[in-house]
Structure 1
Amino acid sequence: MRKQQRAEIVLKRLAELYPETPIPLDHRDPFTLLIAVLLSAQCTDKMVNRVTPALFDLADTPEQMRQQSVDAILEIIRPLGLAPKKAAAIAGLSQRLVDEFDGQVPQTFEGLESLPGVGHKTASVVMSQAFGHPAFPVDTHIHRLAQRWGLTDGKNVQQTERDLKALFPESSWNTLHLQIIFYGREYCTARGCDGTRCELCTTLYPNRRKPVETKKA
């Protein structure tokens, strides 16, 4: 089976399984989505959703957030991984948004990636989910599954992103990246499937017998 054929099977099956793709991070607007995505680094969405209500009750705009001390932010987000760095980044980016972007979340990759704590993956999520700009954020789930499904050789997340963008129509990117995440969490988990067990892995590689050793992001 050719790579493009595998991609077409993935696209069709995931559309059947997940016709609706709600954003798994609770948020109110582009700013709160930006904060939630930043907090999700090395942390589950479920954990992020536990702390953001209190954080957004404290401050849910750049103007309000910049008035909070790093310690006040840290006290709320302490249960999350990398909390001290994230607290400093939230305070810093909120100040930058007010000083340089009139309190608005920029709608460009360049603007987003200039903010403290915001890398390409975070910017891609905000661009796609807050502003509808075609993007293909690659997290650990997508990086792992793209290798298991033979869509990339997975040297790094940058290559995985390029390979997936080349295989799938641009119009599908914003929905598909969420569908892959949903499938990875439900059926093709890091420990629950090794490339030989779930429906898509066995459909795409029916003769595969050995586990797939995926390269880390």
Structure 2
Amino acid sequence: MTVSAIIAVLLLALSQDFIVAAIPAAANSVVVTHVASDYFPNAKGDLTRFDVDARYVGYSSETQSWLARIDPSSGKTDEEIATQLIEAAYAHAFNPLDPDMAADLTALLAAVAGSEPPSTIERRSSFEVSVAHAVKWASCAGVFSCLSGTTCTFSLDIGKAPRSHCENQGGSNCCISWSNYNIRAGFFSTTWTTCNSEVQAEQKSDASCEGYGTNDQGGDVCLSNRANGCT
């Protein structure tokens, strides 16, 4: 392909409302999909943010087999069902001493009961660094930069499921996820470069970061330790 043809293709991609690019078949990967509302048909709250729709790469064959076997419908109580959903999101056995996992279990059960207050998060054009759902930033930096397309080539299929991609790096569950399909071209790399600068400026070793904006300005992209987003 000539240089002029490559430029033409790039300009065409940037003119689109969203990217539809194929995720290359990855060796040693497993796709895990669970819709939370399927397991809680009588839930009184919105369970969308607890859905798990992810491709896991780089985990041991034992971990991948375990992830593929997770079946929340086998739970006998709401807590058992919720626990398995959380395990799928973190690619890790539930640990009640893990503050993130414990908080997610409480939040999911509250949403099922309808007792969780409405979210007060204001979706605006912004990038927010947090210690919630944090990863070892230095361990995950290479994965995040690669997935965002900043330092290496990797295509995320944001027009289709899965809507998360997690890789095991240094023992960390490094996940990049997005909450809708209307992601503007370049927003993954914008989120990574901005978030990385913010984390470095704040001198954090553990962090998560979310980039979100209006439909005209990007989308909603999360860099964290779980497959179902930052919030």
TM-score of the aligned structures, taking structure 2 as reference length: 0.31
Query: Would you tell me which structure has more strand in proportion to its own residues?
Result: 2
Larger fraction in helix: 1
Larger relative contact order, structure 1 or 2 (CA cutoff 8 Å, min sep 6) = 2
Q: TM-score, normalised by structure 1?
A: 0.32
